[in-house]
Amino acid sequence: MHTMLTKERERLPVRVDVATPAGSARRARRRIRPSTLFALAPMAVVVGVVYLGAMAWTVRLSTTSSKLLPTYDFVGLDQYERLFANARFLVSLQNMVVFGVLFIAACLVLGFLLAVLIDQRVKAEGLLRTIYLYPHALSFIVTGLAWQWFLNPELGLQRAVREAGFESFAFAWLADGETALYALVLAGVWQSSGLVMVILLAGLRGVDPDLWKAARVDGIPAWRYYLSIVLPLIGPMIVTATVLLAIAVVKLYDLVVAMTKGGPGIATEVPAKFVMDHLFERANVGLGTAAATVMLVTVLAVLTPWLYARYGSTSGRPA
């Protein structure tokens, strides 16, 4: 049955060496799979044409003196000089960072907490999930107004509590330039943490139930189980949520417009609003695109090392 084979294992390599002369065995490391290429073609087109195209176009316009409509002259870095002399833009960048850190952290913590608690086989899971998620469904144009009312010292909570007898109660986050940003964070968290919850819940539902058993026998407290075992395990979901939140931070616009219009003063201005205002309201496409370019570069500066480490260099899935 196995006549081809000699008993001496020493002979095998010799024989095979002859069969595959050096060099011919070396091949492309990966197989080309037409269906994969076919499946990824739409993405390639979109990336190439839309995303890269629009980014290049944006950068190009930022070196022009375009006002309401694009023109294609060249003014060098004038727009950037102007941009970085602009107090509002600098405040916007700073706000984005502060808001981003607080908002992402709060959403992740609250979302994770809610996901974990909902995962404890609670009653009315579906109802609670929907309650936590519903803010995401409503347009911020009006829910922002509800928040604004609620936070307004003359209309909302402060007045209600004072009328109830606590005269010294003070809750006027929106009215104070120092705290208005926190009010935005609050409303942002209200809107987005439900989404984080469902994303993480999707991750939690994929965790091997035996792990929970092992942890319970090991005497690992539930919080520790979730923190040390589940959290790393749903890492990809957390990354997903963080990226989504980060996108929301960078694009943050509706929330600000609905609640503070950037005020009081310029206390809650954000870069996206700066871009929007200059692109449309103030008819200064050049400056607007310069601001957008700065946003893009900032994002890339933060993102590139991470993207590279994660997706760029290796062929396969992250370990």
Partner 1 sequence: QEAEVIHWWTSGGESAALQEFVSRFEAAGGTWVDTAIAGGTNARTAGINRIVGGDAPTAMQFNTGRQFEEVAAGGLLNDIEAVASRGGWRDLIPASFVDAISYDGEIYAVPVNIHGQNWMFYNNAVLEEAGVAPPQTWEDVLAAAEKIEAAGKIPFAQGGEPWQERTLFNAVLAGHGGPELYDRLYAQNDVAALDTEEFRAVADVFGRLRAIVDEGSPGRSWNETTNLVVTGRAAMQLMGDWAKGEFLAAGQTPGEEYGCALVGANEALIIGGDVFVFPATDDEAQRAAQEMLAEVMFSPEAQIAFNNVKGSIPVRSDVDVSGMDACAQRGAEVMSDPAKQVPQVNLVASSDLVGAVDDVITQYWNDPSMDADAFVARFREAMEIAG
Partner 2 sequence: MAAVSVRDVSIAFGSMPVLDRLSIEVAAGEFLVLLGPSGCGKSTLLNAMAGLIDVEDGEIHFGERNVTWEEPKDRGVAMVFQSYALYPRMSVRENLSFGLRMARTQKAEIEARVARAAAMLQIEHLLDRRPSELSGGQRQRVAIGRALVRDADIFLFDEPLSNLDAQLRNELRVEIKRLHQRLADTTMIYVTHDQIEALTLADRVAVMKDRRIQQLAPPAEIYNRPANLFVAGFVGSPRMNFVEGRIEAPDGALVFRAGDRRLALDAYEFARRPAPGSAATLGVRPEHIGVLEAGEDVHAWSGLHVDIVEPMGADSLVWCRDGETTLAVRMAGEKPIAPGAAVRLVLDPARASLFDPASGERL
Partner 3 sequence: MTSAVVTSTDRARGGITARGRRPRRLTAGRIGLYAFLASAALFFLLPAWIMLLTSLKPMEEIRQGTIFALPLAPTLEAWAAAWGSACTGLTCEGISVGFWNSVRILVPSVILSVLLGALNGYALSFWPVRGANVLFAILLAGAFVPYQVFLYPLVRMFSSVGIYNSLAGIVLVHVIFGMPIMTLLFRNFYASLPRELFNAARVDGGGFFTIFLRVMLPMSTPILVVAVILQVTGVWNDFILGLTFAGRENLPMTVQLNNIVNSTHGVRLYNVDMAATVLTGVVPLAIYFVTGRWFVRGIAAGAVKG
Which one of partner 3, partner 2, partner 1, none is in contact with 5 (Cβ closer than 5 to 8 A by kind)? partner 2
Pick from 50, 155, 216, 239: which binds partner 2 (CB under 8 A)?
216
Interaction of residue 283 with partner 1, rule CB under 8 A: yes
Which one of partner 3, partner 1, partner 2, none is in contact with 175 (Cβ closer than 5 to 8 A by kind)? partner 1
DSSP string, 61-99: HTTS---SS------TTHHHHHHHT-HHHHHHHHHHHHH
Give 196's contacts (C-beta < 8 A, 6+ positions apart): 107, 108, 110, 111, 112, 115, 241, 244, 245
Q: Six-digit token pair at 315?
A: 């062929």
Nearer of residues 39 and 127 to partner 2, judged by Cβ: 39
Whether residue 70 contacts residue 285, with contact meaning beta carbons closer than 8 Å, is answered with yes
Whether residue 188 contacts residue 255, with contact meaning beta carbons closer than 8 Å, is answered with yes
Interaction of residue 201 with partner 3, rule CB under 8 A: yes
Residues 288-307 that bind partner 3 (CB under 8 A): 289, 292, 295-296, 299-300, 303, 307
Q: Give the x/- contact pattern for partner 3 in 242-281, rule: CB under 8 A.
A: -xx-xx--xx-x------------------x--xx--xx-
Interaction of residue 310 with partner 2, rule CB under 8 A: no
Distances (CA, A) of 174 to 72, 168, 183, 197: 42, 18, 6, 27
Whether residue 111 contacts residue 204, with contact meaning beta carbons closer than 8 Å, is answered with no
Give 169's contacts (C-beta < 8 A, 6+ positions apart): 158, 161, 162
Interaction of residue 236 with partner 3, rule CB under 8 A: yes
Whether residue 212 contacts residue 133, with contact meaning beta carbons closer than 8 Å, is answered with no
Pick from 96, 107, 181, 198: which binds partner 3 (CB under 8 A)?
198
Which one of partner 1, partner 3, partner 2, none is in contact with 122 (Cβ closer than 5 to 8 A by kind)? partner 3
Whether residue 181 contacts residue 256, with contact meaning beta carbons closer than 8 Å, is answered with no
| HSE (side-chain half, CA atoms, 13 Å) at 237 | 22
Q: Token pair 């500066």 is at which residue?
A: 301
Whether residue 273 contacts residue 262, with contact meaning beta carbons closer than 8 Å, is answered with yes
Interaction of residue 164 with partner 2, rule CB under 8 A: no
CB of 35 to partner 2, least distance (A): 10
Interaction of residue 172 with partner 1, rule CB under 8 A: yes
Pick from 55, 152, 157, 244: which binds partner 1 (CB under 8 A)?
152
Helix (H, G, I), strand (E, B) or coil at 217: helix
Nearer of residues 9 and 123 to partner 2, judged by Cβ: 9
CB of 231 to partner 3, least distance (A): 13
Interaction of residue 112 with partner 3, rule CB under 8 A: no
Interaction of residue 218 with partner 2, rule CB under 8 A: yes
Interaction of residue 242 with partner 1, rule CB under 8 A: no
- By the criterion CB under 8 A, which residues form the site for partner 2? 1-5, 7, 9, 12-13, 15-17, 19-20, 25-31, 33, 208, 210-211, 213-221, 224, 228-229, 232-233, 235, 319
